[in-house]
Amino acid sequence: MTVEREFANAETLAPVMREVFGTDRRTTTVDRLLNGSKKGVYRVTLDDATSTIVYVWNADEDYWDGLLPDGHDDPSNPFAHASGIDFFDGATHRLEAVGARSPRLLLTDRSKDLYPADIAVAEDIRGGTLAALLERDPDAGRHTLAQLSDMLRRMHGYPAPAFGRVAWIDGGGAAPDATCEDAYLERALVNIATAASRDNRAAEAETMLEEKLRALHAALEPRAEFGVVHGELCAEHTLVGPDGEPVIIDIEGLMYTDIEVEHCWMRMRFGPHYEALRNPDLDPRRMTYYQYVMHLDLVGGPLRIAEGDFPNRKWMLDIADFHLQKALAYDA
C-alpha cells in the first residue's frame, strides 16, 4: 500500500514555536524522530541551541489508520487506539499527580489555528535512553533503574478508581461493564482471530490457542484493585533526565489495570535488568495469564500494521512470528 504522507517542517511549525518561545528565537532544524507508529514526534532546535519536542496527531502520522478493528475509536473502550492529545494530556497529569516523571508539557493545542492537527510541545530530554545508559555506564544505569523501581511503586500503589483508560476515567467516564480480566480475554480472542485469518499456523491452531486462553482465564480469582500502568514500559521508553532520573515516554496508553500487565511486559523487555524492578507480591496466575495475552497481542497488532505502509514492515512481521511461536509453545 502506497500512501502520500505530509510531515511537519520548520515553516509549518513556525506558529507553534512563536506561541511557545516568542518571536526573538528562530528555528534552525526540525528532525522527525522515526521511532513511533501512532503520532509524529519532532525535535525542533532553535538558534540558541535549545531544543524541544513537538508531538503531532493526525492521519498522516498514524500508520495504524484504517487497519484497526471495530471500536478502536471509542474512548470508553479500555483498549481504544492509544493515540490522541486527550490521552497524552490526561496521562501526563496523572503521572505528575502520583509522582512519576514524564516530559513536562509546554503547550497543548486542539484549535488547529497554530497547526492543522492536534499538537503538544514538551521539554526535550537529551540524556538518551536508559537502554543506552545501561550499556554505556552500568553503574549509573543501575542508579536510574533503582529510581524507576521507586517510581513504579508509586504508580502501581495508587488506588485507582476503576479499571479503564486513565484519561477516560479521570475525565468522568464510566468504567466498562466487563471486569479487567474479561476485557483482556475479549481482546485476546480478537487477536487470535486476527492471526488465524493471516497465518496458516495460527489458523490450524486456532481452537487450541482459544482453549488455552480460556483455561488460563478460568483459573483467576476475582480482583478489583488496580494501579497506574504504562503498559509498554521498557528501557527504550525510559529517558534519562538531567539529574539521572528516569523520564517515561509514549504514555498515551496509560491505564488503570492489573499491575501484572506491566510486569509481564517489563520482564520481556528489560531482560536481566528486570530483577531491579521485580515485585514479589504479584499474583502468579495473573502473570501467567497476562503473559499469554501479551504474546497474542504481539501477533495480532503487528500483523495488522504490516498490511499498511509502515516503513519497517519486516520488523513487524518478525515480531508477529516470534510471538506466535511463543503462543503456540506456551506452557502454563
- Band (pLDDT 50/70/90 cuts) for residue 1 is very low
Verdict on whether the full-model pTM lies above 0.85: yes
175-218 pLDDT, tens per residue? 988 999 999 999 999 999 999 999 999 999 999 999 999 999 99
The answer on 270 and 135 residing in a single domain is: yes
Average predicted confidence (pLDDT) for the chain = 91
Contact predicate 40/61, CB 8 Å: yes
Residue 68 confidence (pLDDT): 54
237-256 pLDDT, tens per residue? 999 999 999 999 999 999 99
The answer on 179 and 136 residing in a single domain is: yes
The answer on 227 and 186 residing in a single domain is: yes
How far apart, in whole angstroms, are the C-alpha atoms of residue 323 and residue 301?
11
Residue % of the chain over a pLDDT of 90:
75
The answer on 207 and 273 residing in a single domain is: yes
Length of the chain counted residue by residue: 332
Boundaries of domain holding 88: 10-123
Contact predicate 176/78, CB 8 Å: yes
The answer on 74 and 116 residing in a single domain is: yes
Q: Tell whether 285 is covered by a domain.
A: yes
The answer on 235 and 201 residing in a single domain is: yes
The answer on 303 and 204 residing in a single domain is: yes
How far apart, in whole angstroms, are the C-alpha atoms of residue 152 and residue 125?
20
- For the cut 50, the answer to whether the pLDDT of residue 33 exceeds it is yes
The answer on 168 and 136 residing in a single domain is: yes
Kind plus residue range of the DSSP H or E element containing 302: helix 284-305
The answer on 268 and 285 residing in a single domain is: yes
84-134 pLDDT, tens per residue? 898 899 999 999 999 999 999 999 999 999 999 999 999 999 999 999 999
The answer on 222 and 118 residing in a single domain is: no
Q: CB under 8 Å to 135, separation ≥6 — which residues?
A: 141
Cell match 492536534: residue? Answer: 118
Q: Which of 65, 89, 123 is the last residue of a domain?
A: 123
Residue 312 confidence (pLDDT): 79
Residue 232, number of CB atoms within 10 A of its CB: 17
- Band (pLDDT 50/70/90 cuts) for residue 271 is very high
Q: Which range has the worst mean pLDDT, 5-9, 48-52, 105-109? A: 5-9
Q: CB under 8 Å to 38, separation ≥6 — which residues?
A: 57, 61, 62, 63, 64, 81, 82, 83, 252
Q: Which of 123, 144, 162 is the last residue of a domain?
A: 123
Q: Tell whether 2 is covered by a domain.
A: no
11-25 pLDDT, tens per residue? 999 999 999 999 988
How far apart, in whole angstroms, are the C-alpha atoms of residue 185 and residue 132?
35
The pLDDT of 220-233, averaged and rounded, is: 95
- For the cut 80, the answer to whether the pLDDT of residue 26 exceeds it is yes
- Band (pLDDT 50/70/90 cuts) for residue 294 is very high
The answer on 214 and 180 residing in a single domain is: yes
- The total domain count for the chain is 2
Residue 67 confidence (pLDDT): 53
Q: Which of 123, 144, 176 is the last residue of a domain?
A: 123
Kind plus residue range of the DSSP H or E element containing 94: helix 85-98
How far apart, in whole angstroms, are the C-alpha atoms of residue 30 and residue 12?
10
Tell how strand 27-32 and strand 238-240 pair up.
unpaired
The pLDDT of 292-304, averaged and rounded, is: 94
Residue 3 confidence (pLDDT): 55
24: left (phi over 0), alpha (psi -120 to 50) or beta: alpha
Q: Tell whether 289 is covered by a domain.
A: yes
- Band (pLDDT 50/70/90 cuts) for residue 61 is confident
Closest to 63 in 3D by CA, of 302, 304, 312, 308: 308
Residue 164 confidence (pLDDT): 95
- For the cut 70, the answer to whether the pLDDT of residue 36 exceeds it is no
